[in-house]
């Protein structure tokens, strides 16, 4: 089951379970803005970034989203320097 991580791994923007978010096969999770900056390729593994599915609200109680935030060290700085 997908973790549904709570934030963007680069800019740490909040990504609640019903928010538009993108992930790779390793569940690295990114907001739409960072995803576009990465040209839809995961900067960690190089794999495709695809839209994260929405978990229906009635299933979140028994299958909650993760509360563990993952932030890639230096990602936001690298993105700012490139932009």
Tens of pLDDT, residue by residue over 59-82, are: 999 999 999 999 988 888 888 887
Task: Name the band, by pLDDT with cuts 50, 70 and 90, for residue 53.
Answer: very high
Query: In b/e form, how buried is each residue of 25-56, taking b as 16+ CB within 10 angstroms?
Result: eeebbbbbebbebbeeebbeeeeebeebeebe
Whether the pTM exceeds 0.95: the reply is no
Other Cβ atoms less than 10 A from the Cβ of 75: the count is 19
> What's the mean per-residue pLDDT of the chain?
94
Across the range 4-14, mean pLDDT stands at 96
Contact (CB, 8 A) for 43 and 21: no
pLDDT value at residue 18: 95
The yes-or-no verdict on residue 83 having pLDDT over 80 is no
pLDDT value at residue 41: 96
């Amino acid at each position: 089951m997908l973790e549904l991580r709570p934030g963007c791994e680069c800019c740490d923007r909040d990504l609640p379970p019903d928010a538009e978010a993108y992930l790779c096969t390793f569940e690295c999770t990114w907001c739409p803005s960072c995803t576009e900056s990465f040209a839809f390729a995961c900067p960690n593994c190089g794999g495709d970034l695809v839209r994260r599915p929405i978990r229906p609200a009635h299933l979140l109680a028994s299958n909650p989203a993760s509360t563990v935030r993952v932030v890639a060290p230096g990602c936001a700085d690298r993105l700012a320097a490139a932009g």
